[in-house]
Structure 1
């Protein structure tokens, strides 16, 4: 789907899965009725950039493929390019020009993008039913063997770094476009942490809120200077992101971040500067937020499966974020009322930046 089309209304249909490509110019969806003329369930669809290759996995009530098989589909030729059979159910997949990362419940397997695919690495992980994994051209991030830890792999050298990111299970991880930054959130959902992948240093701790929440999506802006977050609180948050040092040249500059430091006194104003106040008063909060449609669907038509059985059998994905420019982003949801909403960051009369919803669109018809 081209998210730069004019916003208009259309009829809804059920969607099992949704994901953006790397530059968020398109997003792909998996349906109970299939994709690419498949008349069966597709629970995962990942695009390789703007190429013709898609990673597919079966899902829903009647999966198109065996749940332990990943398919690399050539949409230009309309046929299967590669097949990878795993030892257990596929939980996620990521594609780059050189690598294929297949996520299983307790491991991540990295293959060459070649025919036949060659297994390069097999990394053990803690339970990862959500299929958490983020791939850039040079870095790969996924859960560690211990709950709350993150493994970062340098794909060029094979070196593995471990970040003890959270004390509870991970809910979301995301690399920036250049692979230099990593954002993570746990199942608690109150704090988002940002790390430099070059030295594993923590650059920021960002507070989404005080009450626990289920994080839906994390996404860096194209430059990496902003981070967006959605959760089941039905709120989109936008944060400034400190940048890691770049050798003798100092830190990567961020115009947005500099503006925020000069103009924004913080969520709690003078209270954040008083000694002995609880840390929530001094934490870094989002500089802008806006409501989005999180929907109220708890299942996809009452599909009687558990999340351990097949993809696309739990609550449909909501709040998936894609940045289409440095100040514009789209939030997409799946389910029976599948839609996308466009938001823009703009300066207000009060001198602060605001996140404004420009419109929405139901992106699939009933046929």
Structure 2
């Protein structure tokens, strides 16, 4: 495998969280003393700001000068119940929004600002100051689950395992009863036509179409339970990447409807359980769709008190102001249809680049091309 040597090995300050911008060209990191912005393609630092306190959540508006902040960490710069819109050109706060309860996460685009509270999602037009469009009650959402696409928003509904989809153009609302257990991860395809969901059970990933809200397929990560850390569609929507607290990156090729209906002996030969997948009466684990390939990524060496994340998707705990209460781990972002990044924050903050392709035998494969500890 083509594995590049480590690019940097010095440990830097503690990273509270990491987040990609809308096109995954950059990622922002909240620190105990400020924030930093990095190039996704190289992992090189682009911007570093000391603001005199902790930033638990930093969400970039594209590659422009605006970043949405929530205070966090041991000594937060701002209260956790406020969203601050930072203008990096002036290095000042342009506007802010205050809420009655702590903010779990923020999503931002050129047109909209989404604020996620423990039991509510607020939708705003991106103006100065932001203009409220709507808000919706949700089940407990301590991980701040919310995906902002071009024209839709996906977030938990009022019932356990339910996904609510809000159309930004029509303001129509759709509901998907996705799982029986609480949601743990969400993803939207680039064209807003597909939704991927995982529950805290961590065994199955389900794919749903939009706007019909019908189930397209089920993908099996494994038989034993795990924490799904992140889901991400490739830019073309033909591949789904999945990370879990098993330190495993899974790659699923998503077949077209014609391919889904085409069953051959070759398909059975490629299946995890070979011909057993075609035998009747065996448990469904033998016939389910498994990942086409997988690789290991680094969770990083963390103190016991800053583990990957709490297993429960409904209980609130951990570091104030940080989505999920724990440093970001296993965050996925595609650069193109063959390159996917895995980010981790914490004491051992890492950037890893993986290439998805084929090995010498023509089998689907994924391998790590390079990595670095991105903080100085």
**TM-score with structure 2 setting the length:** 0.87
Q: Is this contact kept in 2: 1:126–1:143, CA < 8 A? A: yes
> Quick check: 332-341 or 78-87, which moved more?
78-87
Q: Is this contact kept in 1: 2:118–2:140, CA < 8 A? A: yes
Contiguous gaps of at least 5 residues in structure 2 = 36-48, 308-315
With over 3 angstroms needed to count, the CA separation of the structure-2 counterparts of 1:77 and 1:263, relative to structure 1, is farther
* Equivalent pairs, count: 348
Residue by residue over 1:214-237, the C-alpha shift from the partner in whole angstroms, topping out at 9 and shown as x without a partner, is: 111111111111110101101000
- Alignment of 1:56 with 2:69, yes or no, is yes
What is the distance in 2 between the residues matched to 1:46 and 1:116?
17
Q: Which of the numbers 144, 153, 158 marks the counterpart of 1:145? A: 158
Q: Which of the numbers 185, 195, 200 marks the counterpart of 1:182? A: 195
With over 3 angstroms needed to count, the CA separation of the structure-2 counterparts of 1:309 and 1:357, relative to structure 1, is closer
Q: Which of the numbers 338, 342, 346 marks the counterpart of 1:327? A: 338
Residue by residue over 1:60-91, the C-alpha shift from the partner in whole angstroms, topping out at 9 and shown as x without a partner, is: 11111111000111222322222111121000
Partner of 1:217: 230
What is the distance in 1 between the residues matched to 2:226 and 2:293?
18
Partner of 1:230: 243
Partner of 2:298: 293
Aligned-pair distance for 1:300? 4.6
Aligned-pair distance for 1:308? 6.9
- Alignment of 1:44 with 2:49, yes or no, is no
Residue by residue over 1:84-137, the C-alpha shift from the partner in whole angstroms, topping out at 9 and shown as x without a partner, is: 111210001101111100000000000111122111101110000110000012
What is the distance in 1 between the residues matched to 2:117 and 2:228?
21
Q: Which of the numbers 76, 80, 86 marks the counterpart of 1:67? A: 80
- Alignment of 1:78 with 2:78, yes or no, is no
Q: Which of the numbers 269, 274, 277 marks the counterpart of 1:269? A: 274
Q: Is this contact kept in 1: 2:84–2:93, CA < 8 A? A: yes
**TM-score with structure 1 setting the length:** 0.89
Q: Which of the numbers 177, 184, 188 marks the counterpart of 1:164? A: 177
Q: Is this contact kept in 2: 1:299–1:316, CA < 8 A? A: no
What is the distance in 2 between the residues matched to 1:321 and 1:263?
30
What is the distance in 1 between the residues matched to 2:255 and 2:80?
41
Q: Is this contact kept in 2: 1:129–1:308, CA < 8 A? A: no
Contiguous gaps of at least 5 residues in structure 1 = 1-5, 245-250
What is the distance in 1 between the residues matched to 2:169 and 2:279?
47
Report 1:1-367 matches (<5 A): 8-13=7-12, 14-35=14-35, 36-242=49-255, 265-297=270-302, 298-300=304-306, 307=317, 310-312=320-322, 314-365=325-376
With over 3 angstroms needed to count, the CA separation of the structure-2 counterparts of 1:223 and 1:324, relative to structure 1, is same
What is the distance in 2 between the residues matched to 1:219 and 1:109?
23
Q: Is this contact kept in 1: 2:357–2:365, CA < 8 A? A: yes
Aligned-pair distance for 1:243? 5.0
Secondary structure at the aligned position of 1:203 is classed as strand
With over 3 angstroms needed to count, the CA separation of the structure-2 counterparts of 1:314 and 1:102, relative to structure 1, is closer
Secondary structure at the aligned position of 2:285 is classed as helix
What is the distance in 2 between the residues matched to 1:262 and 1:46?
42
Aligned-pair distance for 1:240? 1.4
Secondary structure at the aligned position of 2:276 is classed as helix
What is the distance in 1 between the residues matched to 2:58 and 2:341?
18
Q: Is this contact kept in 2: 1:299–1:315, CA < 8 A? A: no
Secondary structure at the aligned position of 2:135 is classed as strand
More strand by share: 2
Aligned-pair distance for 1:262? 5.8
Residue by residue over 1:177-199, the C-alpha shift from the partner in whole angstroms, topping out at 9 and shown as x without a partner, is: 22211111100100011111211
Aligned CA RMSD, in angstroms, stands at 2.5
Secondary structure at the aligned position of 2:23 is classed as coil
> Quick check: 10-19 or 93-102, which moved more?
10-19
